[in-house]
Amino acid sequence: MSRIGSFLVVMVIAMATTIGVAFLLYRNELDRLRDAVGRGSLVVNLDTGPIEYADSGAGIPLLSIHGAGGGFDLGLAIAADLAGGGFRVIAPSRFGYLRTPVPRDASPAAQGDAHAALLSRLNVPKAVVVGVSAGARSAVELALRHPDKVAALILIVPALYSPTSPVSINVSLGNRFAFWAVNVGGDFAWWAAETVAPSILIRFLGVRPALVSVAPQAERERVMSFVRSVEPLSLRFPGIKIDSVPELHELPLKEITAPTMVISARDDLFNTLPAAEFASGKITGAKLIVYDTGGHLLVGHAQQVREAIRGFLEGAGVRP
C-alpha cells in the first residue's frame, strides 16, 4: 500500500472513531436529559386537558410561564433566576411542551384558561404571574379572562402584538440552520451546534454573541444554561411549532386590572421592545423598564431585574 493510501486509511479510521465517540457522548447526554425532564413534575387532568407542572418552594404563589423552547424546567429556572426565593413557584409546561399534549384549541386564550384551571386545582386563589417571551401571550389572556387569579402581572421580553413593528427574528445563515434543527426535531443537530458552534444558538435565542463573549463568566454560564434548556429538542418541538406561527392580534389590554410591569431590551433580536412599549402604554398604570443592551435573555441584567421585580411587588402590596 502506498504512503498516500496508508494515510487515507488512517484518516478514515480516525474520523470514524471521532464520529463514534461523539455519537456515544450524544446518546449518553440525550438519555441523561430525557431522564432529567422525566423527574420533578406531575401531570394533572383538568377539564381543559392534561397539564404537566412543577410545584416548588414556599411563600407567595408565583405562576412562571415559560417561553418558546421551554417547559416546566425552564419555568423553574426563570423564577429562580429573576424572582429569587420566597415564592411558591408553579411552573406549567405549556401546550406541546414535554408531557403536556397539544389540545384541539391551542390558542393563548385556551392556555390562559388552563393556567386558571391549574391554579384552582392547586387551591391557589391568586398568584403573581410571570410571562416570558411567548409565554406572555397566555399570561395576558389569564389576566384578561381570569382577573381574580392574578395578584400582579410581570411580562418579560414579551412576544406580543405590536401595530408598528412585529416580533420577528433575523433570518441569517446560522438562524436558518437553527430553524432547520427545530423543524426536524433535531436533537443531535442542536447538541452538536451547542458543542461546536454555540454562538449560532445564542443568536437564535435572541442575543448577539459578541455581547456574551465579553460578559463575566457567571453570565456566560447563565446564557449557556438557556441554550441547554432547549434539549431534548424533540420533546419540545410540538410547542415550538405552535409558538413559531402565532396569530397575534390586538387585545383589550386596557381591561387588565392587575398591577403590571413590562421589561425588554433595545437590542433584543426578537424585536420585543415595540410590543413591550405598546402593552405598557395600553395597560393602566403599567411600569416599563427598558435596557439598552442585554438581548432577549437580558444578559448582564439578572440582578437588576430581580431587584426591579422585588420593588414592583412591594409597591403593589405583594411581599414574598
**Both 108 and 7 in a single domain?**
no
| pLDDT of 238 strictly over 70 | yes
Owning domain of residue 33: 1-37
- Residue 206 near residue 297 (C-beta atoms within 8 A): yes
pLDDT of 6:
47
**Both 111 and 26 in a single domain?**
no
**Both 62 and 141 in a single domain?**
yes
Distance from C-alpha of 217 to C-alpha of 211, rounded to nearest angstrom: 12
Does residue 119 lie within any of the structural domains?
yes
Lowest mean pLDDT among 26-35, 51-60, 146-155, 309-318: 26-35
CATH number at residue 159: 3.40.50.1820
List CB contacts of 257: < 8 A, sequence separation 6 or more. Answer: 143, 147, 284
pLDDT band at 167 (very low <50, low <70, confident <90, very high): confident
Does residue 139 lie within any of the structural domains?
yes
pLDDT of 29:
56
| pLDDT of 22 strictly over 60 | no
pLDDT of 2:
55
pLDDT band at 232 (very low <50, low <70, confident <90, very high): confident
Distance from C-alpha of 201 to C-alpha of 172, rounded to nearest angstrom: 12
Does residue 126 lie within any of the structural domains?
yes
Does residue 68 lie within any of the structural domains?
yes
pLDDT by residue (tens digit) across 117-137?
999 999 999 999 999 999 999
- Residue 92 near residue 72 (C-beta atoms within 8 A): yes
Does residue 222 lie within any of the structural domains?
no
pLDDT by residue (tens digit) across 49-63?
999 999 999 999 999
Rounded mean pLDDT of 254-276? 97
Catalogue the E-assigned strands of the chain: 42-46, 49-56, 60-65, 87-92, 127-132, 150-156, 260-265, 287-291
**Both 28 and 146 in a single domain?**
no
Distance from C-alpha of 286 to C-alpha of 154, rounded to nearest angstrom: 10
**Both 22 and 75 in a single domain?**
no
**Both 9 and 74 in a single domain?**
no
pLDDT band at 196 (very low <50, low <70, confident <90, very high): confident
**Both 276 and 151 in a single domain?**
yes
**Both 31 and 143 in a single domain?**
no
Query: Cell for 18?
Result: 471521532
Of the chain, the percentage scoring pLDDT greater than 90 comes to 64
**Both 56 and 149 in a single domain?**
yes
pLDDT of 102:
96
pTM of the model: 0.87
As for how many domains the chain has, the answer is 2
pLDDT of 19:
42
